[in-house]
Structure formats: C-alpha cells, structure tokens
Structure 1
Amino acid sequence: MFETDLRLTNGRALHVYDSAPCDDGRLAVVTLGVPIDGLYEAGEWLGIRWISCDLLSTTTAADLAAVVDAAGVDGFALMGHAEGGALALRTAALVGDRVEAVVTFASTLPAEFILTAIDAPVLLTHGLADRVSPPTNSHWLATRLSLPTLDLHPALDHTSILTRAEPALEWIRDHTG
C-alpha cells in the first residue's frame, strides 16, 4: 500500500493510501470508513484499486475530489460507512459523471438537495438491528435517489453490516463499465 500526504489548496493535508498507483486497468474504489484489510483478496480478483484517506471531521467532498485527481483517476466508485456514506453521496453529487457507483453501509443523511444530482447507481446496505444509524435512513435515501438498490439485513447492526462489503464489491463490479 502506497502512502503519502496530499497538500490541499486550503493548506491542510490528508494522509492518502493507494493500493495500485498508476494502474489504470483497475477500477478505483474510494473507501470512506470501510476497513479494507479483509477485502484485499476480493479486490485482487475483482481488479480493484483501493484509494482512501484518513477521515477527519473536516474532510469534504472537494477534498476527496482532490484525492482522486492527484491519483490520476477519471472514473471511480465510492464505498462509505456511517458518516463516510453521507460523504460518499456528497462526493458523488459534486463530481457527477466521474462516479460510476456508490455503496453506503448504515449511512447517515446528507442534505436532500444533493441527492438529485447523483446519476450513478447506489447500493444502500443497512442492518435492521442498527441502533446507531436507523434503517429508516436508507429507506429515506432510496426514495430520493434516481438509481437506488436497498439491501437490508435483519440480524446485522451498525458494525456487523460491514460483513456485507465483499458482496457490495461484486455489486460495484456488476454496475460499472
């Protein structure tokens, strides 16, 4: 995993990770709060290039656009957990047609008006036993997105929903160019 600090135009720095710098043959998947340690093998056979950064409470969609620009990536997918899910949706709205697909796990809610700007397919994965981020969040998002897929799991909670990350990667592969 290649690591570097990316200096943003506002003077702040983000610590960035890239599993395959300059490998344009792989689909870039930007992860936001989704641990990828157990996903390396699946990422290899699916041809995925992992890109992520240390998420700070001040990380914005514009910051993530700078990360993918610095990585030389045109099209990419986003995966986010909780606040990372809302950030993934805000980023998809900001960068538009560069985003090929979005996956959220137990997402919190972004502002409603940005959702109409998202044209990419979105997989909303949520555990019905989640007591941190209510499953109604994903239901609400599904009614406001143009291409939603709602993926609910009765026995999973806020953290255990991340066990659905590997099937979500397969969904990304099926929904991207």
Structure 2
Amino acid sequence: MFETDLRLTDGRALHVYDSAPCDDGRLAVVTLGVPTDDLYEAGEWLGIRWISCDLTSSTTAADLAAVVDAACVEGFALMGHAEGGALALRTAALLGDRVEAVVTFASTLPAEFILTAVDGPVLLCHGLDDVVVPPANSRWLASRLALPTLDLHPHLDHTTILTQSEPALEWIRDHTG
C-alpha cells in the first residue's frame, strides 16, 4: 500500500492511500470510511485498485477530486459508510460522468438538490437493525436517485452492514464499464 500526503490548494494535507499506483488496468474504487483490510483478496480477483484518504469533518467532494486527479484516475467508483456515503453522493454529483458507480452503507443524507445531479447507478445498502442511521434514509435516497438499487438487510446494524462490502464490489464490477 502506497501512502503519501497530498497538499491541497488551501494548505491542508490529506493522507492518501493507493493499493496500485499507476495501474490503469484496474478499476479504481475510492473508499470513504469503508475498511478494506478484509477486501484485498476480493479486490485482487476483481481487479480493483483501492484509493482512500483519512476523512475529517472538513473533507469535501472537491478534496476527493484532488485525490483522484493526483492519482491520475479518470473514471472510478465510490464506496462510503455513514457520512462517507453522503460524501460519495456529493462527489458523484460534483464529478458527474467520472464516477461510474456509487455504493453507500448506512448513508447519512446529503442535500436533496445534490441527488438530482447523480445520474449513475447507486447501490444503497442498509441494515434494518441500524439504530445509528435509520434505514428510512436509504429508502428516501432511493426515491430521489435516477438509478438506485435498494439493498436492505434484516438483522444487520450500522456496523455489520459492512459485511456486504464484498457483494457490493461484485455489484460495482457489474455496473461499471
């Protein structure tokens, strides 16, 4: 795993991780709050290049644009958990066609007007036993997105929904070109 600090135009630095720098043959998946340690094997057989950065409360969609630009990535997918899910949707709205697919896990809600700019496929995974972020969030998002797939799971909660990360990678592979 390659690690570096990326200096942003406003002087802040983001600590960035890249599993396969300069490997254009792999689909880049930018993760936002989704642990990838258990997903490396699946990522290998699916041909995935992991890119992520340390998230703070001030991380923006423009910051993520700088991350993928610095990594020389044109098209990519996003996976985000909780606030990372909302940031993934905001990034998809900002970067348009560059974002090939989005997966959210127990996403918090971005502003509604942002969702009208997200025109690619979005997989919304949510555990029905989530008491941190209500499953109604994903239902609401699904009702406002152009190409949603709502994936609700009984008996999974805010954290255990991340057990659906590997199937979500397969979904990404099926929904990207």
Bin of the TM-score, shorter chain as denominator length: over 0.9
- Could you say which residue in structure 2 is the equivalent of 1:37? 37
Letter in 2 for 1:161: I
SS in 1 for 2:144: coil
Aligned residue for 1:53?
Answer: 53
Task: Tell me, in whole angstroms, the C-alpha distance in 2 between the residues paired with 1:167 and 1:154.
Answer: 16
Give the corresponding residue for 2:113: 113
Matched, 1:165 2:165: yes
Matches within 5 A, 1:81-160: 81-160=81-160
Amino acid at match of 2:127: G
Give the % identical residues: 88
Mapped partners of 2:114, 2:162: distance in 1: 25
* In structure 1, distance between residues paired with 2:148 and 2:42: 24
C-alpha RMSD over aligned residues? 0.2
Code of the residue aligned with 2:19 in structure 1: it is S
- 1:119 Cα deviation from its structure 2 partner: 1.0
Q: What are the ranges of 5 or more consecutive residues in structure 2 without an aligned counterpart?
A: none
SS in 2 for 1:41: helix
Once the two structures are TM-superposed, the CA of residue 16 in structure 1 deviates from its matched residue by 0.1
| Aligned length, in residue pairs | 177
Q: State the TM-score, normalized to the length of structure 2.
A: 1.00
Q: Which residue of 1 aligns with 2:2?
A: 2
Following TM superposition, where does structure 1 have runs of at least 4 consecutive aligned residues deviating by more than 3 angstroms? none
Q: Distance in 1 between matches of 2:133 and 2:81?
A: 10
Give 1:89 deviation, angstroms.
0.2
Say which SS state the counterpart of residue 45 (structure 1) adopts: helix
Kindly provide the amino acid, as one letter, of the partner of residue 167 in structure 2.
Answer: P
Alpha-carbon distance between aligned partners in 1 of 2:105 and 2:42, rounded to the nearest angstrom? 18
